[in-house]
Amino acid sequence: MDYVKRAETIEMAFSNDVEQTVKTIIDNVKENGDQAVKEYEKSFGNSDRPVRVSAEEIENCLQTLPEDVKVLIDRVVDRVSEFAKAQLDCLSPFEKDFGEGIRMGHRIIPIEKVGAYIPGGRFPLLSSGPMVVAPARVAGAKQIVACSPANYKGGIHPAVLYGLVRSGATDIFAIGGAQAIAGMAYGTESIPEVDIIAGPGNMYVAEAKRQVFGKVGIDLIAGPSEVMVFADETATPRKIAADLLAQAEHDPFARAILITTSRLVAESTLQEVTSILQTFSTSSPAHESWKSRGEIICVESLQEGMDICNEYAIEHLHLHAKNSSELVKELYNYGSLFIGEDSSVVFSDKVSGTNHTLPTQRAARYTGGLWVGSYVKILTHQEIKGQGVQFLGAHTEAQSEIEGLEGHKLSATIRIN
């Protein structure tokens, strides 16, 4: 393994004050409800508007949205929903006998109240709302509470708002940050308390989700964006460079990495990245992201490259190789896989249908991304009769005797003939 370009830093150096700041916000919202939320909105976002987005505001706001933009968002909602429905169809309840008098199974039950956090960010991301909200609606959630910062003319951007409405959000609030997470987790006079919170956000949102986990469920701690391109000698350096920079522009802390078996591809890609960056706005996060966290690594074989891919457990893994589909069976740690150089990550970011809320910072070792299954519970059940009672009762009685659990033994003994 040889570095053509090595990252200046790998770990994100967040302030130690973030944890305490978030804790203070959560405690304040728990204690003071709407008043605390409004104070933080004024302090952090310079917003003093009502926290709830009214039906009248929604109607007036959406009238300003061009029809061609609505068509784009409709397509995103439909495709994300269609993919989520296909995933849900793969989940089946069952019930079967596991011996005489022993019948067991499970049911698939939607989570009733979902909290969806939609980041404001530097740009209005049209797909973020549908990615978080539409799968919850497909899963069968009864209430979907959506929060997004009021950072566009004193409210939520019309395109983001339309995506939330079209995806099935039942309650929409123009609030952001840790105060939004706290509001959904504990409830306020205006904000309904939810059962699970999903969606990406900045470091304060991520930390808030971590702190409220247990009180509510969460999907995962996601972000900043990551991409790894795995390429052989047939890859096109300009396409690789474009794919790397597409993710690098999300955040200064984003990671963009090339693993390749070809020194020529490595060096040519570095030249292409340098050239393309000169055309980007000087304010683009891609400059800092590539400078400090971008990497290009040469490997001696496809196997070595795949081993590195599995070790990094990256969010987006994109294969630029002549036999990309043949490599899939050797890859198992990634948030989402993109097979072939034209299967661009940005298609998934926007509209293909797979979810773009994915595990980062090596979390792909133990979890996948947000999906319709994030919004359902698999609940087991059993019915024990006749001979099943005698068989399981005798076993439980004997095991409880060894364990010294008198109550367990009694509960079994009184059921044995």
Same domain, 313 and 391: no
Same domain, 194 and 286: no
Same domain, 87 and 193: yes
Whole domain around residue 274: which residue ranges?
Answer: 224-368
pLDDT for 14: 59
Q: Is residue 173 part of a domain?
A: yes
Same domain, 181 and 255: no
For the chain, the three-class secondary structure string (H helix, E strand, C coil) is: CEEEECCCCCCCCCCCHHHHHHHHHHHHHHHHCHHHHHHHHHHHHCCCCCCECCHHHHHHHHCCCCHHHHHHHHHHHHHHHHHHHHHHHCCCCEEEECCCCEEEEEEEEECCEEEEECCCCCCCCCCHHHHHHHHHHHHCCCEEEEECCCCECCECCHHHHHHHHHHCCCEEECCCHHHHHHHHHHCCCCCCCCCEEECCCCHHHHHHHHHHECCEEECCCCCCCEEEEEECCCCCHHHHHHHHHHHHCCCCCCEEEEEECCHHHHHHHHHHHHHHHCCCCCCCCHHHHHHHHCEEEECCCHHHHHHHHHHHCEEEEEEECCCHHHHHHHCCCEEEEEECCCCCHHHHHHCCCCCCCCCCCCHHHCCCCCCHHHHEEEEEEEEECHHHHHHHHHHHHHHHHHHCCHHHHHHHHCCCC
Mean pLDDT of the chain: 96
Same domain, 262 and 393: no
Contacts of 348 (CB under 8 A, 6+ apart): 316, 336, 338, 354, 356
Query: pLDDT digits over 311-336, tens only?
Result: 999 999 999 999 999 999 999 999 99
pLDDT for 188: 98
Q: Which of 315, 318, 320, 356 is catalytic?
A: 315
- For residues 309 and 327, the answer to whether their CB atoms sit within 8 Å is no
Contacts of 362 (CB under 8 A, 6+ apart): 312, 313, 333
Same domain, 332 and 395: no
Same domain, 133 and 21: yes
Q: Is residue 98 part of a domain?
A: no
pLDDT for 222: 87
Would residue 318 show up in a list of annotated catalytic residues for this protein? no
Same domain, 360 and 396: no
Residues 174-184 have a mean pLDDT of 98
Same domain, 284 and 399: no
Same domain, 183 and 232: no
Q: Which of 157, 287, 316, 356 is catalytic?
A: 316
pLDDT for 332: 98
Query: pLDDT digits over 259-278, tens only?
Result: 999 999 999 999 999 999 99
Same domain, 155 and 252: no
Same domain, 150 and 207: yes
pLDDT for 123: 66
Q: Based on the structure, what is the number of domains in the chain?
A: 3
CATH number for the domain spanning 43: value is 3.40.50.1980
Residues 74-101 have a mean pLDDT of 98
Query: pLDDT digits over 191-224, tens only?
Result: 999 999 999 999 999 999 999 999 999 999 988 9
Would residue 315 show up in a list of annotated catalytic residues for this protein? yes
Q: Is residue 300 part of a domain?
A: yes
Q: Is residue 177 part of a domain?
A: yes
Cα–Cα distance for residue pair 287/293, rounded to 1 Å: 10
pLDDT for 15: 66
